[in-house]
Chain A
């Protein structure tokens, strides 16, 4: 249902932001973890987000049905493309979860069970203040996506009232 394409775009934003929240929560929870699954302290993670391209065939098909035959601009725009090939984004997708390569923090604590020969403990490279900022960004982005979705829903409801 391409007339509900807007819902798909907002839905992808919501999913991506929720994933970011999960990763941030994991970073905060593991801010003091000295033993991670792969040995060594926990390394901070981040989500890599990429643009999701809409189905090109669907856009062309919608353009064909609308304009019939040639590369009619109105027809292409109906399908979400313009003549230069620039198109409405299909939303966002999470490409992967990447580790942060910055060095670990060192803390002098010879009594710690994970202290090395010199008495230093390697702590995760997680800065809780940065994580809190990212958390605020992620939750506000989530709310913004919900607002966009509600606005679109209101538009559709008003359009349906035309016929009443």
Chain B
């Protein structure tokens, strides 16, 4: 309670302080002109002329409001209005150069001559610049022009996003477009499953592995609360020096999402909508009913007797699917306002119907952004409110067990009995997956609310101070309703249930943020120094049976210095405390320094025409990770078993016993990552070719993990501690080319490539030893043991086990022992196991081609991952005749026909996972409209996940990559699908 009060008092004090300043009368003066309107000369009685015109986008023809048009030399100019038109009055007769410029476009100039009383019309059609050097890049706590950047930052703007049709989470908008950023959906298009985001490999073992998401300046934002259509740009801070300003949570990089805001304009509306349908790509090839019966009748089949023909013919996989389900999304936004007060409001409704029967997700969202400026333009309020309400129905059980059943279920069993009830049979881990999906309704209702207010006060022309407060609330109520006739409730007994079975559960998170920052800009004869300092308080409360909370408190500052726009230097530091760590070590310091040299600005480069821009960057930064559960450092008391104990009233009574439930660690501290980055940015051949190359070396120290505690003298065998070291090294390349750029036809091509090499340097120190840990446990039938070993000097995600050596004559497994001899499995010991492969891809690449012909555009997007192995678990269990009389994969009697032994894990089941996906093809048409009602209209058709080229025999090589067991393709899975969407965007 104490803290809550403190928090409120501070907010209040700051607001009061602001109010005091505003009311001070001396503050009416010294007003900074925020808009570059040039005063018109009204003194001269000379006759003058007027220039009017329109500024448009050369490729789309769309008008560009807010573009600057200036007459060179006389400092006279204006900005275009809402409809892209401008007017410059009182121009003295003469010859001038008129220059039009707009952010993200190449400057265009025209020589004009104007006479007295003449009204001259000059229109500009601006070409988009390939690399917007002037464009503002969102960095931590502020923006920078791209040319000033010294860190490794990638910006993807709306026009380069994937089309929203077929996208589940907004981060997919940039899937494959940022070198080094891996975005995967291990559960395909299940709208209720998450997306894995990984930047520059895995840098941690047990702390959070995903980048920090910042939505409009609020750290820790949830992607599910954003409609893709509301996003203006996504900036990815890739290296340590750029991310370090966010210190505590920045080890896995930072993704900043900027939503669209209002601006001074007439009220406008925009509508986005699409419909999507899906189709399964590959299905597991199990025996059909006919094949099953034929196999049962084979004379030498030892399982014949137990392979019963129940007479039906069921394709259990298809029985679980929807035929061409239709998803749809509609978004309507309104924006408008004046220079001082403007707004944008959007509403979004999305109904996602995946390929699996009786599952869905429906979402409704609203987002309101209001900007308000007053007090002589010195005080700015920026209010952001957003909400999402969603309902969902999942697969039952929620781990996709139904599709495991569909693999093994006898294909001669019917889905339903002749009397209309579901057919069920007794057996080990067996149920009718269709019945389960129909009779067990499992889902949740989800509510997400976010509100933030940022108040900025301009103390002086170059000095701002701002305070931001924000609150986020995320509640979720889950439910499971089981029909009273469901087999699970009545198994092995008479149908005795009279009521349905209901269970519900809830989970609530509240986050609060208070942040104050101040920025100062100093400029003098080529020197420019920008300083920023701030304080941040954020707390996180969670209620779910138990109630826990954690806090982050930080002080931070940054200085950017540039000389002649050529030599750039940036330094930042953040001191941050997290409540999650031990009493002795809650605070960490995260410094960063980086420098840039714009070689192209040097005099000696002037003669080299092919180089438009060339910049060398180098940076070093320290970031932290505290993505662990709270309370881990404490000596926690936990409930043990119950025991019958004599009480003071003279009888026995059951009590629960309690004792130490973990090994406490008062020295639990920050996991820290130290990262070097060297980068080169270039633009060549008159903007035709540009690119970025980054080399990095990141070392994570004090890895948070469960280490083997000494037993004895400790009570528990694990201690959560900071011990090991991990290294990731890599290269990232992005190349953008515009080989053809003519009036009617354009071709733009972007290639990204990245390589990452992971190595676990150490897992031990003097006290805590863990030279390796086995994981990736393969469960029954016949517990196959672990499949992955995390070991010092090896990359994370290495498969470890027996090495396949062939089969004996009667089909028994043979494996290699240490001496390289092929022996049967009972002679194989732990010492004979070896490293067999790795599930983390070493290389990633993508290739985007955009062709434009007049109003038509065609985008082709390919991406791929290379050099990794996948463990095909379906083959282990279901590609084995011993699994009969359950159904098996066809491979059991073809590819693995020789095998006549129990399931065993070995490299026999590891497959090369390399793949290339035709991820997206989009065909779009932009109508040229000069219509008073409809401003613009774009229609498109897009196909996603259309074709996968791979040697992998499973259903999809894009399997889970996060965590410590990448590359395992399990027996429980969500089917993969390709999607086709048709959509439109209308502005009116």
- Asked if chains A and B come from one complex, the reply is no
